[in-house]
Amino acid sequence: MSGEVGHESPALRGAACIQAYLPLLGHGPGVYRMLNDRSEVLYVGKARDLRARVSNYARATGHSARIARMIAETASMMFLSTRTETEALLLEQNLIKQLKPRYNVLLRDDKSFPYILLPKDHAFPQLRKHRGRRATKGSYFGPFASAGAVNRTLNQLQRVFLLRNCTDSVFNARTRPCLLYQIKRCSAPCVGYISEGEYAALVADAERFLSGKSTKIQAQLAEEMGKAAEAMEFERAAALRDRIRALTNVQQSQGINPRAVPEADVIALHLEKGQACVQVFFIRANQSWGNRDFYPATGAGAEEPEILEAFIAQFYDGKEPPRLVLLSHEIENPDLMAELLASRAGRKVEIAVPRRGEKAELVENAARNAREALAMRMASSAAQGRLLEGLAEAFGLDAPPARVEVFDNSHIQGSDAVGAMIVAGPDGFIKSQYRKFNIRGEALTPGDDFGMMKEVLTRRFARLLKEDPDRAGETWPDLLLIDGGAGQISAVAGIMADLGVDDIPVVGVAKGVDRDAGKEEFHRPGQRAFALRHNDPVLYFVQRLRDEAHRFAIGTHRAKRAKSVSASPLDEIPGVGPGRKRALLAHFGSAKAVARAGLSDLQAVDGISAALAQVIHDTLNAR
């Protein structure tokens, strides 16, 4: 990749500014950035021929309204030349992800997808859900659209293949079969009810099923059932019959099972009134493994080909593409995109827009889902907008809030205290913006809710002031809701004044008479408390916000408490990671037994050197 071209062009704006850069540009591939007069990146684009591409923007006419607005705002540009167009596409996507320009299409949900894992590091492998890096050796099947889709499939597979789902520690500690064996969902390898060879055959069957070879498994099970019946092994024949029925139920519940499409992602876009919904269906092993909808930002008015191409490039960043990607619309550079996906997959990837047959039916089904999902989202957004307008009217705000932050605390007599913040806006709850705060104040009196709220708000707004002092971003709230009454809201107002952000409206939500829902009182600094009528939709909206904050705070507190309960003194010893911790506990049985052990006993454990044994002994006996 060659060097970067500067971006100073002080006196010019719009098409004239862009025209001034043309003499500096060559005809090779590269990436360009368009910036406004505040040096904010408006747009990142790629080009096979930088000069030819940029010259299009220098024309005075012939642009869509979106491009014309972008050109008019352009005060400077930046350029990076690359060796190939594919390299330019990769660089463009990296910059879009990093800079999030206003006029680019942005995928706002980049969470990983779950898989099913059959490990190869155990004689009796556990069938389990997996998400993230593939560090464990084994067979991975997926992706699945959601954790729910994986859990349903795992539940069905247990009935068919009787593979264990318990952890290795539970497996090693069992002396009698668990309930899953009693309800015929596990073969109880933990207590030797099945041999290693027989279990391996079940694992092989499960792998064949997840690879799309279920009909062969059914035929094999039917043959075994017939032989068992002939041999008058009626109990075994009945068990095989139950497995065949379970396998049939799995196939029927899969929904769309394409016969001619063994592996594909079906991606369909519906665009309406400037909003877009993309539906992705996952087809693996001739089975549908669920679907998920996405709502990318459309870059202030991009059309279908640009939206879909940008979505594909961003969606497969860090995800392995399948051998076939079926689309609802043509994209601008299908050959280039196929080359990019092939480089990420390490094999050929085909991109197609089918017009007839089963593939076209799959795309039409995905498009219908995209259309219906967007209609529901738009209706929900309209209702949410009306509620935010009602919130503004009820609390005397200048305008409907675009971002509402709700705070709550949770603890048990001051222990394992946490603060929680949830966020809501025009599109509903924004769960990616939720935050939890482990209460750190050592001087706090146990159960001091005022002190905990002060710490949470101080940390929240100190960070905002540091990261966005000009309030140019979208992370500053328009309204704060606090779970509490007059005393709580007075304390919060003082905290906000000390931080210098006392221009953000703050409302306290307190339970009213007898603490009954529906009788809530609302408190604002320096004003009398008031209530909303019992059937007011805004009251129900505030209750939902408060209950969501309470749910998130309670869940965060329980997770922290569970972690502290399961904590071990071994966690704090330098050089003792998860592997050595497991080895020590397996050898001695408990952390207390490790603490009582002598140096020679510690050194007898695999992975524990003389020096580390001394560190373990000294650390545990210094308590």
What is the domain extent for residue 13? Answer: 4-103
With beta carbons less than 8 A apart as the criterion, state whether 14 and 72 touch. Answer: yes
Residues 517 and 539 in one domain: yes
With beta carbons less than 8 A apart as the criterion, state whether 196 and 204 touch. Answer: no
Residues 95 and 154 in one domain: no
Distance from the Cα of residue 575 to its chain's centroid: 32
* 111 falls within a domain: no
Residues 230 and 159 in one domain: yes
* 591 falls within a domain: yes
Q: Which pLDDT tens digit goes with each residue over 139-152? A: 998 888 888 888 88
* 425 falls within a domain: yes
| Phi, psi (rounded to 5 degrees) for 276 | -125, 145
Residues 10 and 74 in one domain: yes
Residues 553 and 409 in one domain: yes
Task: Strands of 255-307 (E only): list them.
Answer: 263-272, 275-284, 287-294, 297-298
Q: Is the pLDDT confidence value at 10 over 60? A: no
Rounded to 10°, the helix 449-467/486-499 angle is: 30
Q: Which of 219, 253, 287 is the last residue of a domain?
A: 253
* 398 falls within a domain: no
Strand 128-130 with 263-272, pairing: unpaired
Residues 197 and 53 in one domain: no
DSSP 368-416: HHHHHHHHHHHHHHHHHHHHHHHHHHHHT-SS--S-EEEEEEEEETTEE
Q: Which pLDDT tens digit goes with each residue over 67-86? A: 999 999 999 999 999 999 99
Residues 512 and 549 in one domain: yes
Q: For residue 35, give both structure tokens.
A: 């910036």
Query: What average pLDDT is seen over the chain?
Result: 85
Distance from the Cα of residue 29 to its chain's centroid: 34
The H or E element spanning position 490 is helix 486-499
pLDDT band at 611 (very low <50, low <70, confident <90, very high): confident
* 258 falls within a domain: no
* 385 falls within a domain: no
pLDDT of 156 reads 78
pLDDT band at 560 (very low <50, low <70, confident <90, very high): low
pLDDT band at 1 (very low <50, low <70, confident <90, very high): very low
Q: How many domains does the chain have?
A: 5
Q: For residue 129, give both structure tokens.
A: 């859900």
Q: Which pLDDT tens digit goes with each residue over 245-273? A: 766 665 554 445 677 888 999 999 999 98
Please state, in angstroms and as integers, the Cα–Cα distance from residue 443 to each residue in 418, 440, 447, 549, following that order: 15, 9, 12, 26
> What percentage of the chain reaches a pLDDT higher than 70?
89
Residues 161 and 92 in one domain: no
Number of other CB atoms surrounding residue 406 within 10 Å: 29
